[in-house]
Amino acid sequence: MTVATETRTGEAGHWGAEVRSDLHVRIEPRSRGGIDIELESRVKPYYGDAMRRQAEEVLEALGVRHAQVQIHDEGALPFVIAARIEAAARRAGRGEGTRVLPDRIALPEPSSRDRMRRSRLYVPGSEPKYFINAALHGADAIILDLEDSVHASEKDAARLLVRNALRAVDFLECERMVRINQLPLGLEDLDEIVPESPDLILIPKVENPGQVVEAGKRIAAIKGDYGITRPIWLMPILESALGIENAFAIATESEKIVALTIGLEDYTADLGVVKTSAGAESLFARQRVVNAAHAARIQAIDSVFGDVGDTDGLRAWGLNSRALGFEGMGCVHPLQIPVIHEAYAPTPAEIERARRIVAAYNEAQEKGLGVVSLGSKMIDPPVVNRALKLMARAKAMGIVD
Amino acid sequence: MVDGKARDQSGAAEAIEDVMAILDKTELVTNAAGRMVPETVNGRTQTAYMGVGKYQPRGNKAAPPIRTAADYPATGDKRVADLETALRKCGLRDGMVISSHHHLRDGDRVALMALEAAARIGVKDLMWFPSASFPSQKGAIELMESRVIDHVEGSMNGPLGDYCTQGKMRGMGVLRSHGGRWQAIQDGEVHIDVAVIAAPTADPFGNCDGSHGKSACGSLGFALADSTYADHVIAVTDNLVPFPCIPWQIQGNNVDYVVEVESIGDPAKIVSGTTQITRSPDRLRIAEFVARFLRDAGILRNGFSFQAGAGGIALAFVSYLKQMMKQAGVKARFVRGGSTKYLVELLEEGLTDYILDGQTFDLDGVRSMADNPRHVATSPFTSYNYHGKGNFASLVDAVVLGATEVDTNFNANVVTHSDGRLLHGIGGWQNCLAAGCTILAVPSFRDRIPVIVDEVTTLCGPGELIDVVVTERGIAINPRRQDLLDAVKGSKLPIRPLPDIKKEVERICGGRPQRPKRGERPVAIVKWVDGTVLDTVWQIP
């Protein structure tokens, strides 16, 4: 009798009329006969040979020597093909401890602690078609999501896809963020993700500083193993009443934390209240996050606005969010990006006032005056500081020269 | 002496030998674009493409036979019982040319109705000459199998396209632009024996209108040439009104017979209820780039004109352009349709003086054409005809088109997939290349298939006429258009050389694609707007 694991069939990925940029792989290991690949693809006339070659290389690297392999391809790019074959092989009980990594494009410059984070676009980690052009739409960051947008049964496969995407996809100017799963599952995500040097890890459902410590230790260990010296920043997501209560302690736990954010779906569920577009039920929690973040000298980042069709609602939310002291928010569709950027941009009136304050300040400096005044009004130093910050921000947004 | 039967058989064998001899004799020549094209197509000697504007035939235009009003009923009632009767009265015989039109698009029932009536009469080897064919007309395949139809000269896609590219059609397909179809009719390259016109409204005299009736479709412009040049003209309607049918887009004075039927088409497939702007962020990005390009290049100015189709990108482009027109306080003198609700909104909000409409895509367009005298039905004669004394296409400041492939010399393909299968008709695409600024709005790759390539599979548009290629990864301006390159200097748009974009796409897709295998036998030709042969579609092995 054959051992059950030896004949276990492994499948991964998706195919069908509605599927684009993905593939389905079915691997049936056998004891002899070598590799037999059956390939169906609409791009076969152009990349059929390349796909076959790649499949053979990946299987060999995974140590799969004898198997019946079926590939239904829907125009997937090479980094997706590699990830799906690897996932299917692992599900077939093969390839343990082996990674088949696609070619790596040059790593972008490391991101800075206080870079602009107005918009971060969530991309479901199991949907490769959204990865490819995600960075074109001008978000400050892309979040490759392994948590809520990925079904429990797809966590293992999504992890490989996201890992490969970090190596092969050019995310242009966007900060490369990954949202891992809630610990302890998130630790397994880190094992695949951290070697590819993401710029920032979002840790979901953080309730106490200990969770940040746990994730931080794992990241440091992996970085050590791989000799990675560039920073990998952290952004804890507070999504419960307890998390909100512990906001400041969490925010100050690690010097790698650059921002604190809030997840309102889970938070309102925890409170047992309805999430409204006006947001009165979460006002306290959001203000608490803003205050804790500022106290810790990090950025406060708002939740997402889920209704993609409601541009006016999004704009109103963004304006309110900025007024509360947030510096950005999440987005679930590229069309939200310009609306969010507009909402977080200083208004022309604010810019004009800041410009006059800065001019008055510069003039006072030149004349060696200790007191800055604008017209008949005396300007306090904090006001000058705020004006300087606002002008710097407006410059970063490309609103002023 | 041989008996009758034996003679028939040897006759058939000779006929087959004749066909084989013709096929064997089909010599290929290299045209001015460097493409291999057949010298003879469907027994007719062809002129190979010579370059843009180079081919200028002389002589007189074709004309239909002289008719006498005395031969038509003085009551003006030209109705006959059914299509079969009408075709018999037209004297339909083996080998004749029967034409139809696509203003009812995929909802059309009339073309197949006419071809099936011809089958019942028992005629064979017809040439079907549609202004375009649609997937719902796949019944034509059976009629080719049963030899009622010999071949199709007109766009083929879907099942008909596959039938042609698999080499199953006896004759060769001839693909012409809307303007090229008019040119072929006018210079006698194609002689139409019987034209069958689907009319959403008609009177017994044969006047036809497209903008009213339960099957209203807007403009009937595609049928205009046939109505004036065909030997016989049949109008088929499901909405007969007493004389006069106003407006008469087709004049009854050109019509021989009128046939009343229950339904000329499926209204749900004739026009869309509403045309929808794409929500694909990549396509929206392309559309926004196109609009910004027109603005930054200074083309968007008071009194300008443009043309865009009804595809997702084109509609979104109109929407972005509209915002920019309002911001800049400029209005257009005219826009060319394919009209949709987005063009109608421009007209109704005073952002354009006129819509000159060749084809009406949605209910808002149909309503507007019926109600608004500034929404004018046009035909390929006014818009696209090579043998006209000028045409509107060259008066348009900017046109936004699609393509299946573009090469780094800006040559473009619009009729075949990269694997050589027929996908689209040429439509007005080739004719539109005459615009002041021709813009192709395309994704840089589809799934894993690059759109920006080394060499197009089928050449439909010479690169010298294509000025700008807008992709989600940047905008490439044809180096021949230094004026446009200068005009957008200082713009924030991502202007890049086309080979740069191609290189990036190949990196993403994992290298340069293999060249798909193609057969050795020509199955269709692509005509240039002047009637010369621009390229060949080859059998798929």
Q: Is the peptide bond before B247 cis (omega within 30 degrees of 0)?
A: yes
CB proximity list for A356: less than 8 A, separation 6 or greater: A374
Distance from CA of A12 to the nearest CA of B (A): 19
Q: Which residues is B345 bridged to in the sheet?
A: none
Residue A37: how many CB atoms within 10 A of its CB? 16
Please provide the average confidence, as pLDDT, over all residues in chain A: 94
H helices present in B133-280, as ranges: 140-145, 158-165, 178-186, 224-229, 267-270
Rounded mean pLDDT of B159-185? 95
Rounded mean pLDDT of A266-285? 94
The H-or-E segment that residue A209 falls in is helix A209-226
Q: How many residues does chain B have?
A: 541
> What 3-state DSSP class applies to B292?
helix
Contact B433, B405 (CB under 8 A): no
Please provide the average confidence, as pLDDT, over all residues in chain B: 93
Task: Inspect the interface and report whether the beta carbons of B516 and A45 lie closer than 8 Å.
Answer: yes
Share of chain A above pLDDT 70, in %: 99
In the A/B pair of chains, how many CB contacts fall below 8 A?
58
- Residues of chain A with Cβ-Cβ distance to B509 below 8 Å are 47, 77
CB proximity list for B212: less than 8 A, separation 6 or greater: B200, B201, B239, B370
Q: How many helices (H) and strands (E) does chain A have?
A: 14, 14
Contact B347, B325 (CB under 8 A): no
Which CATH code for domain B281-517?
A: 3.40.1080.10
User: How many angstroms separate the CA atoms of B308 and B398, rounded?
Assistant: 9
pLDDT score at B17: 54
| Whether the complex's predicted ipTM surpasses the cut of 0.85 | yes
pLDDT tens column, B446-480: 989 999 999 999 999 999 999 999 999 999 999 99
Q: B510 phi and psi, to 5 degrees?
A: 85, 50
Task: Inspect the interface and report whether the beta carbons of B418 and A46 lie closer than 8 Å.
Answer: yes
| CATH-assigned architecture of domain A119-344 | Alpha-Beta Barrel (3.20)
pLDDT score at B4: 41
Q: How far is CA B533 from CA A198, A306, B432, B537, in A?
A: 55, 55, 18, 11
Q: How far is CA B513 from CA A39, A45, A130, A364, B448, in A?
A: 17, 8, 22, 65, 9
Q: Which chain B residue's Cα is nearest to A23? A: B447
Using the predicted structure, report yes or no on whether residue B216 has a pLDDT greater than 70: yes
pLDDT score at B431: 97
Rounded mean pLDDT of B253-259? 98
pLDDT score at A3: 46
Rounded mean pLDDT of B430-449? 96
Task: Inspect the interface and report whether the beta carbons of B282 and A20 lie closer than 8 Å.
Answer: no
Distance from CA of A99 to the nearest CA of B (A): 20
pLDDT tens column, B271-305: 876 677 888 999 999 999 999 999 999 999 999 99
Which of A262, A250, A259 shows the shortest CA–CA distance to A213? Answer: A250
- Residue B48: pLDDT band with limits 50, 70, 90: very high
pLDDT score at A277: 84
pLDDT tens column, A123-145: 999 999 999 999 999 999 999 99
pLDDT score at A396: 87
Which residue, chain included where needed, has tokens 């106003």?
Answer: B246
pLDDT score at B25: 58
What is the sign, positive or negative, of the torsion defined by CA atoms of B362, B365, B368, B369? negative
User: How many angstroms separate the CA atoms of A135 and A121, rounded?
Assistant: 9
pLDDT tens column, B217-251: 999 999 999 999 999 999 999 999 999 999 999 99
Distance from CA of B419 to the nearest CA of A (A): 7
User: How many angstroms separate the CA atoms of A298 and A113, rounded?
Assistant: 9
Task: Inspect the interface and report whether the beta carbons of B510 and A20 lie closer than 8 Å.
Answer: no
Distance from CA of B496 to the nearest CA of A (A): 15
Q: Which A residues 42-81 touch B at CB under 8 Å?
A: 42-43, 45-50, 54, 74-78
Q: How far is CA B438 from CA A140, B9, B402, B484, in A?
A: 34, 56, 11, 11
* Beta strands, E only, A239-385: 259-262, 299-304, 328-331, 372-374, 377-379
- Residue B267: pLDDT band with limits 50, 70, 90: confident
* Beta strands, E only, B105-181: 126-130, 149-152, 173-175
Residue B260: how many CB atoms within 10 A of its CB? 17
Rounded mean pLDDT of A101-120? 94
Identify residue A330 by its one-letter amino acid code. Answer: G
Distance from CA of B320 to the nearest CA of A (A): 14
Share of chain A above pLDDT 90, in %: 84
Q: Which chain A residue's Cα is nearest to B471? A: A136
Share of chain B above pLDDT 70, in %: 95
CB proximity list for A255: less than 8 A, separation 6 or greater: none
User: How many angstroms separate the CA atoms of A286 and B405, rounded?
Assistant: 50
- Residue B5: pLDDT band with limits 50, 70, 90: very low
> What 3-state DSSP class applies to B449?
strand
Ranges for all domains in chain A classified under CATH 3.20.20.60: 119-344
Q: Which chain B residue's Cα is nearest to A48? A: B514
- Residue B14: pLDDT band with limits 50, 70, 90: low
User: How many angstroms separate the CA atoms of B471 and B283, rounded?
Assistant: 9
| CATH level 3 topology of A4-91 | Ribosomal Protein S5; domain 2 (3.30.230)
Per-residue exposure over B17-32, b if at least 16 CB sit within 10 Å of its own CB, e if not: eeeeeeeeeeeeeebb
Interface mutation vs chain A, best among B320, B446, B448, B503, most A CBs within 10 Å: B448
- Residue A96: pLDDT band with limits 50, 70, 90: confident
H helices present in B27-96, as ranges: 83-89
Task: Judge residue B491's burial from the number of C-beta atoms within 10 Å of its C-beta, 0-12 exposed, 13-18 middle, 19 or more buried.
Answer: middle
What is the sign, positive or negative, of the torsion defined by CA atoms of B268, B271, B273, B276? positive
Distance from CA of A401 to the nearest CA of B (A): 14
- Residues of chain A with Cβ-Cβ distance to B448 below 8 Å are 21, 43, 46-47, 75-77
Rounded mean pLDDT of B120-132? 97
- Residues of chain B with Cβ-Cβ distance to A78 below 8 Å are 510
Tokens of B74: 């003085």
Q: In whole angstroms, what separates CA A45 from the centre of its chain?
A: 35
Question: What is residue A309's DSSP assignment?
Answer: T
Interface mutation vs chain B, best among A46, A127, A173, A342, most B CBs within 10 Å: A46
Using the predicted structure, report yes or no on whether residue B1 has a pLDDT greater than 50: no
Distance from CA of A310 to the nearest CA of B (A): 14
Using the predicted structure, report yes or no on whether residue A316 has a pLDDT greater than 80: yes
Higher pLDDT, A376 or A10: A10
Share of chain B above pLDDT 90, in %: 85
Which of B285, B419, B511 lies at the smallest CB-CB distance from A137?
B285
Using the predicted structure, report yes or no on whether residue B530 has a pLDDT greater than 50: yes
Tokens of A198: 């993401």
Task: Judge residue B188's burial from the number of C-beta atoms within 10 Å of its C-beta, 0-12 exposed, 13-18 middle, 19 or more buried.
Answer: middle
pLDDT score at A4: 44
Using the predicted structure, report yes or no on whether residue B8 has a pLDDT greater than 80: no
- Residue A70: pLDDT band with limits 50, 70, 90: very high
Distance from CA of A133 to the nearest CA of B (A): 7
Please tell me the least confidently modeled range out of A279-283, B2-6, B66-70.
B2-6
pLDDT score at B338: 86
User: How many angstroms separate the CA atoms of A178 and A146, rounded?
Assistant: 7
Rounded mean pLDDT of B312-319? 93
Using the predicted structure, report yes or no on whether residue B12 has a pLDDT greater than 60: no
- Residues of chain B with Cβ-Cβ distance to A77 below 8 Å are 448, 508-510
Tokens of B173: 């397909």
pLDDT score at A230: 97
Which of B447, B473, B510 lies at the smallest CB-CB distance from A20?
B447
Q: How far is CA B236 from CA A309, B199, B258, B264, B269, in A?
A: 45, 6, 6, 7, 18
Ranges for all domains in chain A classified under CATH 3.30.230: 4-91
Q: Which A residues 124-153 touch B at CB under 8 Å?
A: 132-133, 136-137
CB proximity list for B158: less than 8 A, separation 6 or greater: B134, B135, B138
Using the predicted structure, report yes or no on whether residue B196 has a pLDDT greater than 70: yes
Q: In whole angstroms, what separates CA B246 from the centre of its chain?
A: 27
Q: Which A residues 222-281 touch B at CB under 8 Å?
A: none
Using the predicted structure, report yes or no on whether residue B13 has a pLDDT greater than 90: no
Which of A52, A168, A40 shows the shortest CA–CA distance to A104? Answer: A168
User: How many angstroms separate the CA atoms of A258 and A278, rounded?
Assistant: 28
Interface mutation vs chain B, best among A14, A18, A47, most B CBs within 10 Å: A47
Question: What is the Cβ-side half-sphere exposure of residue A287, based on CA atoms within 13 angstroms?
Answer: 7
Residue A60: how many CB atoms within 10 A of its CB? 12
Task: Inspect the interface and report whether the beta carbons of A46 and B285 lie closer than 8 Å.
Answer: no
The H-or-E segment that residue B304 falls in is strand B304-308
Rounded mean pLDDT of B161-172? 94
Interface mutation vs chain A, best among B447, B452, B493, most A CBs within 10 Å: B447
Q: Which residues is A262 bridged to in the sheet?
A: A238
* CATH match of B76-153+190-270 with 3.40.710.10: no
Q: How many residues does chain A have?
A: 401
Rounded mean pLDDT of B87-113? 96
pLDDT tens column, B392-408: 999 999 999 999 999 99
pLDDT score at A97: 81
Contact B385, B391 (CB under 8 A): yes
Rounded mean pLDDT of A149-170? 97
Task: Inspect the interface and report whether the beta carbons of A46 and B514 lie closer than 8 Å.
Answer: yes
- Residues of chain B with Cβ-Cβ distance to A133 below 8 Å are 281-282, 472
H helices present in B333-384, as ranges: 341-348, 363-371, 380-384
* Domain range list for chain B: 76-153+190-270, 281-517
Which residue, chain included where needed, has tokens 């040559």?
Answer: B411
User: How many angstroms separate the CA atoms of B307 and B299, rounded?
Assistant: 13
Which residue, chain included where needed, has tokens 């994704």?
Answer: B443
Rounded mean pLDDT of B56-80? 96
Using the predicted structure, report yes or no on whether residue A6 has a pLDDT greater than 80: no
Rounded mean pLDDT of B320-326? 97
Task: Inspect the interface and report whether the beta carbons of A78 and B510 lie closer than 8 Å.
Answer: yes
- Residues of chain B with Cβ-Cβ distance to A43 below 8 Å are 447-449, 513
pLDDT score at A399: 85
pLDDT tens column, A185-244: 999 999 999 999 999 999 999 999 999 999 999 999 999 999 999 999 999 999 999 999
Contact A176, A156 (CB under 8 A): no
Using the predicted structure, report yes or no on whether residue B3 has a pLDDT greater than 90: no
